[in-house]
Structures are given as C-alpha cells and as structure tokens.
Amino acid sequence: MTKLNIYLVRHGQTYYNIYNKLQGWSNSPLTDKGKQDAKLAGQKVQDVDFAAAFCSDLPRAIETCQTILKMNPTAKDLQPTISPYLREQFYGVYEGTEMGQAWYLAGAPHGCKTFKEIVTKYSIGQAKDWLKEADPFHDAESNAEYWQRMDKGIDLIRQADLPDGANVLWVSHGNTVLSLIERFGKGKYDVTVRPKNGSLSKLLLTDDDLQVEFYDK
C-alpha cells in the first residue's frame, strides 16, 4: 500500500475574501496580502522534497502553487498537475454573493441563519444541499455532486505513480479544506470557521483512506 504525505495549503487572500463573498468557480485576484500569504506558506514547506504538486485550475490556486514551488530549491522546476476536479465548491447563482446573505437564504427555511449554525447543528454537507435547494437554477453543487467530482481529484493524486512516502503539495480552497477535514478528521477539528489563507494542513493519503495529521497551521 502506497502512503503519500499531502501538504494541503489554502490559497492566499483574494479580494472576494476581503469582501466576504462566496468564491467557488469564480475568481478574484490575490491581494498584496494574498501574495504574502503564498510566500509565507512557501517558507513553511521550503525544505520539503516534493515529488509532485496538484492544484485546481482556478487562478488564485495556481498562483499560490507556483509561488510555493519557486521558493523550494528541489521543486522550483516542478510542474504542477492542474485539474478542474480539484476546484472549490460551485455555488451556482450565489457565486459572488456576500456569504452571510447566501447562507441565510440557504439555512433560514430550515431554522438556521448562519453557516456556523448550519454546520454546528448539521454538517457542511447539509449546507451544500440547502444551498443547491435555495438556488433557483439548482446549479450549486449538492454534497453528492461535490464529492463525486472531488473524489476524482483525490484519485488523480493516488494514481500519479509516486513512490511510497512521497511528499505531495496540494493547493486548495477554504470550503474544500473544511470539507476534507470534516469528512476525514474524525471530529477532532472545528469546521465551523474557514482555515486561514495560506494555512498548512497535513494529510496521509493511502489507497483507500485519508487521514489528518494536523490542520490549519
């Protein structure tokens, strides 16, 4: 059984992060702080010998990933695998909507007024399903639709023909990091608050499992 050390990084701060807007498949540029977030993340892993790197095809993740790799002496020439399977959750009609408003519209019909309240009482998966329900076009990803796609992304990493014990960089997104931690973190972590921009988590990926070693450092 091959085991891979996954260094999971959330992209640097963007303008939509400042404005508290949902930013799934849409994109806004990294701020100056966001570019610094990427550099600080790069410093955290600059001594890690990466065998591969993966990120979503959204510009904020690509730029963060490229910054991190350029700062790593052994990985500066490594070309990341960029895949739409690894994108953030798709929020449908609520792309670009202020978060508080979007999660109120999703949760209020069910007695929950905030994202934190939905997740505390139910789950992130339930938040996904209720947002799809509230979307008049029903384009927002349900929990099942999201994981059907994301599981393909995880399998992409598994099938990369890497040696046992290889170190892998994965640059991702806030809700995706939360979703991974909720699913595989065995209830040890607070998933009601998004991880910090540029934060580092470490996972252990095997042929049939994903384990969390630490989160949001």
Do the domain assignments include residue 138? no
Domain-embedded: residue 136: no
What b/e sequence results for 66-79 when a residue is b if at least 16 CB atoms lie within 10 Å of its CB, and e otherwise?
bbbbebbeebeebe
Whether 14 is covered by a domain: the verdict is yes
Q: Is residue 103 part of a domain?
A: no
Inside any domain, residue 109: no
Encode pLDDT of 159-176 as tens digits: 999 999 999 999 999 999
pTM greater than the 0.85 cutoff: yes
Q: In this structure, how many other beta carbons lie within 10 angstroms of the beta carbon of residue 149?
A: 17
The catalytic residue among 88, 95, 117, 141 is 88
Residue 46, Cβ neighbours under 10 Å: how many? 15
Catalytic residue among 11, 63, 117, 173: 11
CATH number for 162: 3.40.50.1240
Which pLDDT does position 142 carry in this prediction?
98
Whole-number pLDDT of residue 96: 98
Domain count, the chain: 1
How confident is the model over 120-139, as pLDDT tens digits? 999 999 999 999 999 999 99
Residue 18 lies in a domain: yes
d(CA 15, CA 69): 23
178, pLDDT greater than 80: yes
Asked whether residue 1 carries a pLDDT value surpassing 90, the answer given is no
- Residue-level pLDDT at 59: 98
The mean pLDDT of 73-80, rounded to a whole number, is 95
User: Does 173 qualify as catalytic in the annotation?
Assistant: no
Confirm whether 65 is domain-assigned.
yes
Domain, as residue range, for 31 = 4-94+145-214
Is-catalytic flag, 88? yes
* 139 in any annotated domain: no
pLDDT value at position 183?
Answer: 98
